[in-house]
Structure 1
Amino acid sequence: MIFTVLIPLLLACFIPFISRFKQKIHTGVFVFFVPFAIFLYFIQFTGTGFESIQHTYNWIPSLGINLDFHLDGLSLLFALLISGIGALVVLYSIYYLDRSENLGHFYVYLLMFMSAMLGIVLSDNVFVLYTFWELTSISSFLLIGYWHFKEKSRYGALKSMMITIFGGLSMFGGFILLSVISGTTSIQVMIANADMILNHPYMPLALGFILLGAFTKSAQFPFHIWLPDAMEAPTPVSAYLHSATMVKAGLYLVARFSPVFADFEWFFIIVSLAGIITLCWASYMAVHQTDLKAILAFSTVSQLGMIMAMLGFGTKAAVFAAVFHILNHATFKGSLFMVAGTVDHETGTRDIRKLGGLFTFMPITATLALFGTFSMAGIPLPFLNGFYSKELFFDSTLDLREGMNATASFLAEAIPYLAVFGSIFTFVYSLYFLFGTFGGKTQVDKLAKKPHEAPFGMLISPAILVLGVILIGLFPNAFNGTFIAHAAEAVYGGDIVKDIHFWHGWDSTAFQMSLAVVGLGAILAVTRTKWNGVYQVLPGTWSVNKVYNSFMEKLDIYSRKMTTFYMTGSLRLYMALILSTILIVTAGFMLATNGFTIDFSNLAPVSIIEVAVVLVIIAAAIGTVFAKKNLAAILIVGVAGYGVALLFVIYRAPDLALTQLVVETVSVALFLLCFYHLPNLKKRNDPLRTKMTNAIISVGFGAMVTLIGISAHSSDWFGTISDYFLETSYKLGGGNNVVNVILVDMRGLDTLFEIAVLGIAALAIYTLIKFKTDKGGK
């Protein structure tokens, strides 16, 4: 299973080489087979007899962090969406992105994102999940900012990364708390110990941190503001990240941890309230947009809010409806994003005020849009999958849990009305998108180029997704029995046996709610221009974006002030800040934990030779400070270094002595080579305060290091590691010289990289000298 996660990353390493041949064959052709093969791999697990699969690969077992991958119904559903729609998006991008684009970068970022999403939904270890979670934020930042020469692309990419990474760090804190509470990093073990987690005092804090991560990733109010600005990305990115995969990562997180938190009453209140507010606000705001992708962005936020609300309900009906709508939304919204991209590609604009009457010029695209928008609107037709899950959503709002507190009971009573309100505006923006683009009068004179039907290749992917809309609508139980029910059971934590039916009778409250949505929505859609002025009142001048922009401006101002304070160009200030920080943090920690231990009872006797050498080293160190000539200072520093080498000889460590001699010789030689460029030593007339500060930092830092060295020798907190090396050096390394075996065998990689660093430094110095010489310098 690990290969399905890593294969996209491995191929990404070869994309820069493959993209060199893009003029002969589009790079996307090679990329297409990766998600398609992964989709074929996962589709074999669908069926009525599916059982979960667990694979473990050692990574950091000492910390309980292994590459644990768990495939159950929920992760299978998401894996199929990630790989299946990923393949369609790559196919669409072959015709959408011109070969003159930087295709190498695009597909590297896309494959990185694909691996990250697969890692999220398959990981059973919370810290591995977090690693992949942040990788989605980084790769989505790169994808959104793909057209980096556009200011709006850079702005949208930065906003998405700032908000989602903020949530990711919060989620990481929640994971740490959960691992402390449960004593494990495995999600499945946490689910098995849900009672212990629910009764722990840290549980509400862990829940809050995790939900913050989920809400930011899935664009829940008020964190939804990043998603509309992310629409500056190429349309294949929007269709993949912002309809089917990345924005659903937060939904996956809530669904995955529902068995742990669902019995906590505030889980229902927080998640349901956030979801229903997001549904209402985003659907209301979608009608006010003029950019096709902005309409779809707010519609995506509203649909995500609806799914989040259902996950918050936590009932069997709600969980099933949420999982079903995750699949349905991916099909109709993915197709609509591709339709919007096609319209932009063939007309040169996404401004709905300039569009209209395109059904005549683009009949196939318009037909695909009709099926997608009608499904999104929840129009009661048996061949549209959106109606099924929308009616299940209405039904779930009528069957919430009993025995709640006053707050939860009030919310439960209000939710059905809020669900109808949000769905009415969902109906309105669906018709607004469809008829505003393809209906009405043609405005060819306002378009950048004369519209015409898209190339056949660009229509394949949205047509397949629309076909999915129809097939799921006609045969919902075929999909239900193979993987939808399994996904719902993984979330609910128990059996869910539910048949999906189109007709429940005229007396069905859910059906009556759907009729109310269609009726009122149609009226509002027809009269939209009459009441559109309401947006001048609500939201009016108020905007969450203004809060974000103001925060970023203040952050930039105070960051600049702070940076200006310490980035003065003064080497003395830099060293003072660094050493002071180390002194305060380290000494404070040592004092707080009683780390300083002084014990001279087990020391060997000190000879007069050792005392004499140490006195020479001390005198040389002090003399360096008071030296008035560069040459004298260099030689005195050398005396201190050679004195240390002499101590190694006295302590019978010839290898260390030789190393010290080489280092000191090279250091002195380098100083002498640079002697010409060294500034002349001048007596500084620093004020008394500066001298006192220097003295305090110097003496304090030296005393702290001395005390740490004595404490390390005096403490017996840990068993000595020298016994292990003495016992195993010959057995493992085949050598009697323990130090040599340690350097060459036991920590051979450290030695290798140390040599590599020295080699790189030598090459850098040689390059600088050569560059200076070639320029005629001295």
Structure 2
Amino acid sequence: MSLVFLIFIPILAALFIPLLFKRLGQIHTGWFVLLVPAALFLYYATRLPSVMEGGTYVSELSWIPSLDIAFVAYLDGLSLLFTLLITGIGALVVLYSIFYLDKHREQLHNFYVYLLIFMSAMLGVVQSDHLITLYLFWELTSISSFLLIAYWYTRDRSRFGALKSMMITVFGGLMMLGGFVLLSIMGGTYSIRELIAQAPELAQHDFFIWALVLVLLGAFTKSAQFPFYIWLPDAMEAPTPVSAYLHSATMVKAGIYLVARLTPVFALSEVWMWLVAGVGLFTMVWASFFALKQTDLKGILAFSTVSQLGLIMSLLGVAAAAYHVEGAADSYLKYAAFAAIFHLINHATFKGSLFMIAGIVDHETGTRDIRKLGGLMSLMPVSFTVALIGSLSMAGLPPFNGFLSKEMFLTAMLSLQEFNMFSMDVWWVLFPIIAWIGSVFTFIYSLYFVFHTFAGKHQPEQLPKKAHEAPIGMLISPVFLAALVVLIFFIPNLIGDWLVKPAVAAIQPFLYDSPQNVDIHVSAWHGFNTELFMTLGIFAIGGLMFWTLRKWQHLYDLYPDAISLNRLYDEMMLLSDGGANRFSRIYMTGFIRSYLVYMFSFMTFIVLLTLFLNEAFQIDFSNLAPIGVYEIVILLALVGATLTILGSKSRLTAIIALGAVGYSVALLFVIFRAPDLALTQLVIETISVALFLLAFYHLPQISRKEERMKFRFGNALVALGVGVTMTLVALSAHSQKAMPSISEFYKETVYKEAGGGNIVNVILVDYRGFDTLFEIAVLGIAGIGIITMIRLRLTKKEGQHENK
């Protein structure tokens, strides 16, 4: 089966959702939708044995051959891992949504259509080998996530969060597209695989750093890195199934995927290492610190997601250092890429379960405000157990999978000391120190989430609903994910061999020829080493700070909201909106003549500038026909009639002069031996004058003060510019014909091929048949509209007469 076709299966399934929503009756639409990600997950899982051995799958569908654009689906260890996360977590999210969303009160057809479109977009992102189609799917994730976040569109905050996420991620996507274009210029191809093969040559190109920075802007905005993270907390206004899906396994992981996929291209530059590792580590600390300021359960999880994404991003940056040192595959530095992928899997399991638990708490208590919650442990024991497992895994405690990847994270940061990669002995120390600080706050906010929700004093008077445990159907997905959290701790090497190593081999192809060569064994005990003492310090300091949280949490109030990044974004949006309104009021006068002035002025400027820059002013009168006395007389009459229109004091005079202009043109057609055109012109002018007279008869009389139009120098200048421009264009076009006139073709073929004797008629009926047909259709539609309005007016008058 074509991999390209598989990408579009969710979108194809979405076409049937509205129909099924109406016909399924009492059956929840989600049961049908569940089949799509579940079937895709099972199919892709069958590709694991081959990919585990280093095999790949490629499928191509031509799209725009002239531009070398095609849908190229490439499945290797990295793309298969993300594909399994997208489909596997997607199936659990759909199952969860079946019990979370009420089929009687929610517009489920909209929800599942958006969700399936998003699923296809994510599959396209992680499987595309073509940069342009990757960008296409990338922006489709932004659009579909906008629709999902704004699902409850009647809420102001939902619309605001959706717009904010799309503004930031689409901006990053456009920057990324610029980077992709530069890469294609440097490498002469859009294929990621071919660009990876040319990496050493690309690193020497002048555009290399520009492309690197632009690509990272796209990755950082999508994966919510500092300072672009501000969209993710506001995106929590989406329904919890959306939050669980977008922010644990899919959308925010797209930026992670992009950095991982393009690491072989950009890792030869130290700028890549500095930016990816530095921004990631700073994001981790920043977000983990401010997570404790949040009072909304999903807000805490949003900042924790930003923090965890920063952790993974920093590991990918450190993994890039392996390209610059000898023997990296045999050193502790090799743990960086492995830890990044391993923690990405772990994060999907424990964060997905925590988001679902936050939704359950909101669903069963009516609030997510942690200040109103507490004491739910005995009332919601299953939810508490799942939340405890997920939180302790996120905190890095054994026996949960987060402990293993957290230890490898510390190992990777400490490994930088072996190579002195920054040419300064002191700089490497900052990385493990910052990582340790971020881990301390991660430990605190993990405990903060679970114990402030389920432990402590129960406050039933603060809750909108009486708290109780969720139905079993809603608990299946989070319980399954929590079970994986524990299971992975005990079988980490099974996950490592089947999922992690193939992905690592794809990230570092210059180090590993095959996943079998990734020599890493995961274990929970490594003896008494630096990582162990750092972990003990995290538990001790983090536990103490959590115990005294209420005594120092008020320090967050000292941070002024006026200088926050959210406030900066809001002010920028308000400023741009206000500026746009003020500017639009200047030129949106409501008068057509003003808009014509703008259009004609711009047209004159652009055309004259183009003619001047291209030196296209070439006027040749040598092959023009002689001008006779009749033409001169008619032209003088035409000019006189035109001036009469401008200087007339009455509408009747202006209409008669306008008719004279048209009849003068008709006479020119007669002299130039074009009787068909002359006849057409005469008919049109006669009808136009008659219609003008009928219409103007019903207009109110104008006052004496308004009879004479005031002379405006600006309007006269624009009119003169348009006239001069069109004259110069006509003369220049006639004087330098790049190819023979098409009239010769008409002369040769009108009689022989079209079978007509009148060249004008044949052109209108045969050569321009469709154009003429559409013109007739437009006139027919306009006529029907006029007749309809007349009849409605007559009917209205008859009704009024009967009432009287």
**TM-score for both structures, normalised by structure 2:** 0.85
Provide the rounded CA distance (Å) in 1 between the counterparts of 2:762 and 2:264: 52
Mapping of 1:452-531 within 5 angstroms?
452-494=468-510, 495=512, 497-531=518-552
Q: 2:264 corresponds to which residue?
A: 259
Do 2:277 and 2:317's aligned partners in 1 also have CA atoms closer than 8 Å? Answer: yes
Judged with a 3 Å threshold, the aligned counterparts in structure 2 of structure 1 residues 750 and 146 are, in CA distance, closer, same or farther, namely: farther
Provide the rounded CA distance (Å) in 2 between the counterparts of 1:373 and 1:639: 87
Q: 1:600 corresponds to which residue?
A: 620
Do 2:764 and 2:772's aligned partners in 1 also have CA atoms closer than 8 Å? Answer: yes
Do 2:611 and 2:617's aligned partners in 1 also have CA atoms closer than 8 Å? Answer: no
Secondary structure (helix, strand or coil) at the match of 1:577 reads: helix
Shift of residue 522, structure 1, vs aligned partner: 2.0
Mapping of 1:336-355 within 5 angstroms?
336-355=354-373
Q: 2:304 corresponds to which residue?
A: 299
Provide the rounded CA distance (Å) in 2 between the counterparts of 1:318 and 1:631: 86
Shift of residue 455, structure 1, vs aligned partner: 1.2
Do 1:630 and 1:680's aligned partners in 2 also have CA atoms closer than 8 Å? Answer: no
**TM-score for both structures, normalised by structure 1:** 0.88
Provide the rounded CA distance (Å) in 2 between the counterparts of 1:752 and 1:465: 63
Q: 2:329 corresponds to which residue?
A: none
The CA deviation string for residues 319-359 of structure 1, in whole angstroms up to 9 with x for no partner, is: 22212222221121111101100111011111112212212
Q: 1:440 corresponds to which residue?
A: 456
Shift of residue 272, structure 1, vs aligned partner: 1.4
Unpaired stretches in structure 1, ≥5 consecutive residues: none
Provide the rounded CA distance (Å) in 1 between the counterparts of 2:744 and 2:302: 61
**Which of 334, 340, 360 is residue 352 of structure 2 equivalent to?**
334
Moved more, 58-67 or 269-278: 58-67
Provide the rounded CA distance (Å) in 2 between the counterparts of 1:660 and 1:490: 71
Q: 2:69 corresponds to which residue?
A: 65
Provide the rounded CA distance (Å) in 2 between the counterparts of 1:224 and 1:558: 26
Structure 1 letter corresponding to 2:345: L
Q: 1:699 corresponds to which residue?
A: 720
**Which of 215, 235, 252 is residue 230 of structure 1 equivalent to?**
235
Moved more, 329-338 or 623-632: 623-632
Structure 2 letter corresponding to 1:256: R
Shift of residue 283, structure 1, vs aligned partner: 0.7
Shift of residue 774, structure 1, vs aligned partner: 5.5
Moved more, 453-462 or 612-621: 612-621
1:51 is the counterpart of 2:55: yes
**What RMSD in Å do the two structures reach over aligned CA positions?**
3.8
Provide the rounded CA distance (Å) in 2 between the counterparts of 1:539 and 1:511: 37
The CA deviation string for residues 362-412 of structure 1, in whole angstroms up to 9 with x for no partner, is: 11111221221122111132xx222222222112112238464558x6553
Structure 1 letter corresponding to 2:261: R
Structure 1 letter corresponding to 2:78: L
Shift of residue 643, structure 1, vs aligned partner: 7.0
Q: 2:325 corresponds to which residue?
A: none
Do 2:374 and 2:454's aligned partners in 1 also have CA atoms closer than 8 Å? Answer: yes
1:27 is the counterpart of 2:47: no
Do 1:424 and 1:517's aligned partners in 2 also have CA atoms closer than 8 Å? Answer: yes
Q: 1:162 corresponds to which residue?
A: 167
1:94 is the counterpart of 2:94: no
The CA deviation string for residues 157-184 of structure 1, in whole angstroms up to 9 with x for no partner, is: 2222222222222223323333333333
Structure 2 letter corresponding to 1:366: F
Provide the rounded CA distance (Å) in 2 between the counterparts of 1:390 and 1:46: 26
Provide the rounded CA distance (Å) in 1 between the counterparts of 2:88 and 2:744: 53
Identity %: 51
Judged with a 3 Å threshold, the aligned counterparts in structure 2 of structure 1 residues 776 and 35 are, in CA distance, closer, same or farther, namely: farther
Secondary structure (helix, strand or coil) at the match of 1:398 reads: helix
Provide the rounded CA distance (Å) in 2 between the counterparts of 1:238 and 1:632: 70
Provide the rounded CA distance (Å) in 2 between the counterparts of 1:45 and 1:248: 22
Q: 1:219 corresponds to which residue?
A: 224
- Between the two proteins, the alignment pairs up a number of residues equal to 769
Shift of residue 459, structure 1, vs aligned partner: 1.2
Do 2:648 and 2:708's aligned partners in 1 also have CA atoms closer than 8 Å? Answer: no
Provide the rounded CA distance (Å) in 1 between the counterparts of 2:527 and 2:444: 24
Shift of residue 678, structure 1, vs aligned partner: 5.7
Judged with a 3 Å threshold, the aligned counterparts in structure 2 of structure 1 residues 60 and 298 are, in CA distance, closer, same or farther, namely: same
Provide the rounded CA distance (Å) in 2 between the counterparts of 1:37 and 1:745: 54
Shift of residue 645, structure 1, vs aligned partner: 7.6
Judged with a 3 Å threshold, the aligned counterparts in structure 2 of structure 1 residues 506 and 17 are, in CA distance, closer, same or farther, namely: same
Shift of residue 438, structure 1, vs aligned partner: 1.6
Secondary structure (helix, strand or coil) at the match of 2:30 reads: helix
Do 1:397 and 1:416's aligned partners in 2 also have CA atoms closer than 8 Å? Answer: yes
Shift of residue 230, structure 1, vs aligned partner: 1.2
Provide the rounded CA distance (Å) in 1 between the counterparts of 2:34 and 2:74: 25
Q: 1:136 corresponds to which residue?
A: 141
Shift of residue 740, structure 1, vs aligned partner: 10
Shift of residue 192, structure 1, vs aligned partner: 2.7
Do 1:729 and 1:741's aligned partners in 2 also have CA atoms closer than 8 Å? Answer: no
Q: 1:430 corresponds to which residue?
A: 446
Judged with a 3 Å threshold, the aligned counterparts in structure 2 of structure 1 residues 618 and 191 are, in CA distance, closer, same or farther, namely: farther
1:104 is the counterpart of 2:109: yes
Q: Which has the larger radius of gyration?
A: 2
Secondary structure (helix, strand or coil) at the match of 1:67 reads: strand
Do 1:138 and 1:161's aligned partners in 2 also have CA atoms closer than 8 Å? Answer: yes
Provide the rounded CA distance (Å) in 2 between the counterparts of 1:658 and 1:91: 73
Provide the rounded CA distance (Å) in 2 between the counterparts of 1:554 and 1:232: 25
Provide the rounded CA distance (Å) in 1 between the counterparts of 2:767 and 2:349: 55
Judged with a 3 Å threshold, the aligned counterparts in structure 2 of structure 1 residues 532 and 707 are, in CA distance, closer, same or farther, namely: same
Secondary structure (helix, strand or coil) at the match of 2:70 reads: strand
Do 1:277 and 1:305's aligned partners in 2 also have CA atoms closer than 8 Å? Answer: yes
Do 1:269 and 1:411's aligned partners in 2 also have CA atoms closer than 8 Å? Answer: no
Secondary structure (helix, strand or coil) at the match of 2:225 reads: coil
Secondary structure (helix, strand or coil) at the match of 2:60 reads: strand
Structure 2 letter corresponding to 1:188: R
Judged with a 3 Å threshold, the aligned counterparts in structure 2 of structure 1 residues 597 and 439 are, in CA distance, closer, same or farther, namely: same
Structure 2 letter corresponding to 1:150: R
Secondary structure (helix, strand or coil) at the match of 2:59 reads: strand
Judged with a 3 Å threshold, the aligned counterparts in structure 2 of structure 1 residues 756 and 36 are, in CA distance, closer, same or farther, namely: farther
Provide the rounded CA distance (Å) in 1 between the counterparts of 2:486 and 2:769: 61
Provide the rounded CA distance (Å) in 2 between the counterparts of 1:574 and 1:96: 53
Do 1:630 and 1:681's aligned partners in 2 also have CA atoms closer than 8 Å? Answer: no
Q: 1:152 corresponds to which residue?
A: 157
Provide the rounded CA distance (Å) in 1 between the counterparts of 2:412 and 2:772: 63
Secondary structure (helix, strand or coil) at the match of 1:56 reads: strand
Q: 1:379 corresponds to which residue?
A: 397
Secondary structure (helix, strand or coil) at the match of 1:58 reads: strand
Shift of residue 249, structure 1, vs aligned partner: 1.7
Judged with a 3 Å threshold, the aligned counterparts in structure 2 of structure 1 residues 29 and 514 are, in CA distance, closer, same or farther, namely: same
Moved more, 17-26 or 545-554: 17-26
Shift of residue 275, structure 1, vs aligned partner: 0.7
Do 2:34 and 2:95's aligned partners in 1 also have CA atoms closer than 8 Å? Answer: yes
1:40 is the counterpart of 2:42: yes
**Which of 379, 382, 393 is residue 409 of structure 2 equivalent to?**
393
Do 2:200 and 2:268's aligned partners in 1 also have CA atoms closer than 8 Å? Answer: no
Judged with a 3 Å threshold, the aligned counterparts in structure 2 of structure 1 residues 410 and 770 are, in CA distance, closer, same or farther, namely: farther
Provide the rounded CA distance (Å) in 2 between the counterparts of 1:772 and 1:410: 87
Moved more, 457-466 or 65-74: 65-74
Judged with a 3 Å threshold, the aligned counterparts in structure 2 of structure 1 residues 563 and 724 are, in CA distance, closer, same or farther, namely: same
**Which of 357, 363, 385 is residue 367 of structure 1 equivalent to?**
385
The CA deviation string for residues 577-610 of structure 1, in whole angstroms up to 9 with x for no partner, is: 2222233334334433x15242537846457587
Provide the rounded CA distance (Å) in 2 between the counterparts of 1:740 and 1:187: 55
